[in-house]
Amino acid sequence: MTKDTRKCSFCGREGKSVDMLISGINAHICDRCVDQAQLIVAEEQKMKHKEKVPSFKLLKPAEIKEHLDLYVIGQDDAKKVLSVAVYNHYKRISGKGIAKDDEVEIEKSNIVLVGETGTGKTLMARTIAKMLQVPFCIADATVLTEAGYVGEDVESILSRLLQVADFDVAAAERGIVFIDEVDKIARKSDNPSITRDVSGEGVQQALLKILEGAIVSVPPQGGRKHPEQKMVQINTQNILFICGGAFDGIEKRISSRLQTNAIGYGIGKEKQEVDKDNMLQYIAPQDLKSFGLIPELVGRLPVLSYLNPLDSEALRRILTEPRNALIKQYIKLFEMDGIKLKIDEEVYDLIVEKAVEFKLGARGLRSICELIMMDAMFNAPSEKTTKNVHLTLDYARKMLHISNIGRLKVA
């Protein structure tokens, strides 16, 4: 049988009128029918996926914390709070042990984490999402404005989550959203603003319905660049929101509430035991309200936890212990070029000392490491004879001096 006489067994087109004709034992199929069949299969799989009960890897709170310990150093209080809140949230979604006619309705518990920059807020949220194998996105609250103004609408947060979930609405509706820099949307004064506060109180009010749970019309490609696009309906009832922020200056409000500066005979022992070096451990919802978050928003973030500032010991452990430790990353980078990297213990102490001195936190460790290793990373891959790189304390000090580390100082 020649090509001209063969026909597609599905649509009847002749071989000469199609780009490709695939032959089977007793039948043929053209490329157009293959494309059509692929679309039918994809649509059928999508329908089956919607009918399935959401499945994800749910661990007990102790197991979640144990997993967090592999990646995040210290912060035990925040880990426990986060582990319990995440466990309860996804247990609520799975509905195990709850009868259909049960009148008890379990509400979700969104979380707010307060801590200095570089203490691990984002890392903890990302690690939990990766462990549970659910969609996770990070949204920056600083770019959000009220609808109608230059910036991004609040619904753009859900657009990112939908994109991360490959536009699978069912998967997105059980994901985790980390809203970073939430303290930047605090209203500028204690009194409701007479004039428009387009990036403060208005954004908080727009967040209310999303945090509590509502069906929201979301533009898949973002709101203002593609106004003609079709909206997607997303139910936020089962989306866990974790808000993080440094809340710079909130320590003064906590101190004022605790009256740590009071003098006189009436001071109780409990007030004398207040740790003034870490005031965040005494944070309460009323402190968030006095900082500038509206009461309705604070009420929708019922789980409140704090992160301790990182001391020298914690920074030293962060440098070498976690699975994604900075030093392990550099060793792996050199290994990829067939080079063995060795670093003296005194170099670690120097890196930590500089990070503490310049108040750079965990993120600052990488800046200092880059300054020390820049020449080695530049020269070693090109030198065929170099198989070992040994970083000593004298070399590290020399590199920091050459690179003018003083520019890292915080004013």
- Find the CATH number of the domain harbouring 102: 3.40.50.300
Residue 44 sits in the same domain as residue 81: no
Instruction: State both tokens at 302.
Output: 């019922």
Residues 261 and 143 in one domain: yes
Looking up tokens 């749970």 gives 213
Kindly state whether residue 91 falls inside one of the protein's structural domains: yes
Q: Looking at the structure, tell me whether residues 134 and 239 fall in a common domain.
A: yes
**What is the predicted pLDDT for the residue at 226?**
58
Mark whether 255 and 386 lie in a shared domain.
Answer: no
Q: Which of 32, 51, 70 is the last residue of a domain?
A: 51
Residue 283: per-residue pLDDT: 92
122 and 70 both lie in a single domain: yes
Q: What pTM was computed for the model? A: 0.74
Start-end of H helices in 226-385: 250-258, 269-272, 285-291, 295-299, 312-320, 326-335, 345-357, 361-379
Domain match, 283 and 198 both: yes
Residue ending a domain, among 306, 321, 343, is 306
Are 66 and 45 within one domain? no
With respect to residue 355, please indicate whether it lies within any of the assigned structural domains. Answer: yes
pLDDT for res 363 = 80
Has residue 56 been placed in a domain? no
Same domain, 213 and 321: no
Domain final residue pick, 306, 331, 356: 306
Question: Per the domain annotation, does 360 fall within a domain?
Answer: yes
Residues near 131 by Cβ (< 8 Å), separated by ≥ 6?
A: 57, 59, 64, 67
Provide the residue range defining the domain that includes 284.
61-306
Compute φ and ψ for 257, nearest 5 degrees: -65, -40
Asked if the structure places residue 192 within a domain, the reply is yes
Contact yes or no for 222/156 (Cβ under 8 A): yes
Q: Are 144 and 161 within one domain?
A: yes
- How would you write the pLDDT of the chain (411 residues) with one tens digit per residue? 454 578 888 888 888 888 888 888 888 899 989 988 988 888 877 666 554 444 556 789 999 999 999 999 889 999 999 999 889 888 888 765 555 556 777 788 899 999 987 788 888 888 988 888 888 998 888 888 776 666 678 888 999 899 999 888 988 998 899 999 898 888 765 555 555 555 578 888 889 989 988 898 888 776 555 566 688 899 999 999 999 998 988 988 898 888 754 455 555 545 557 777 788 889 999 999 999 899 999 999 999 999 988 888 989 999 999 988 999 999 999 999 899 999 999 999 999 998 888 877 788 888 899 999 999 999 888 887 778 899 999 999 999 888 766 555 544
Same structural domain for residues 76 and 209? yes
CA angle 383, 384, 387 (to 5 degrees): 90
CATH of the domain at 326: 1.10.8.60
pLDDT of 145 reads: 79
Nearest alpha-carbon partner for 310 in 39, 146, 143, 75:
75
Q: In total, how many domains does the chain have?
A: 3
On whether residue 37 sits in a domain, the answer given is yes
State the Rg of the chain over Cα.
28
Question: For residue 1, how many C-alpha atoms fall within 13 Å in the half-sphere facing its CB?
Answer: 10
Residue 111: CB atoms within 10 A of its CB come to: 23
Residues 401 and 347 in one domain: yes
Q: Are residue 41 and residue 20 in the same domain, yes or no?
A: yes
Query: Within 213-261, where are the H helices?
Result: 250-258
- Residue 290 forms part of a structural domain: yes
